[in-house]
Amino acid sequence: MRMDDEPADKKRAVSAAVRRFPQFELAIHRLIGRSEGFQDMCEELAEAELALSRIDMVPPALRESRRAEWQGLVDRLVGEVGAVLHADAARKPHFIPWPPRQN
């Protein structure tokens, strides 16, 4: 990756993850900023989704095998991103509003 592409790649990575897991948007931003591995995983997801969206540009003889390959990659990455997000959420204490409610 070229250094001048880094912000665009990060933005695409965030977008790909948030499209799949909108309920974890804040965690996605935090994890991408903190974990290079998580950012790489989300960038791979964005690239795989882009490749899948351009499947019609692949020669017809290769199209179905490539579609299956890229869909499998997208599915695997979605599972991995989801696992990280759920594990991160499980480590966080539950939110307690302040001030506490008076019954």
pLDDT at position 95 over 80: no
Give residue for tokens 């869909």.
71
71-85 tens-digit pLDDT = 999 999 999 999 999
Q: Give the pLDDT of residue 1.
A: 43
Question: Are the beta carbons of 50 and 77 closer than 8 angstroms?
Answer: no
Q: Where are the domains of the chain?
A: 3-89
Q: What are phi and psi of 97, to 5 degrees?
A: -65, 150
Percent of residues, the chain, with pLDDT higher than 90? 77
pTM for this predicted structure: 0.81
Average pLDDT along the chain: 88
4-16 tens-digit pLDDT = 566 889 999 999 9
Q: Sort 55 into a burial class: Cβ within 10 Å, 0-12 / 13-18 / 19+.
A: middle
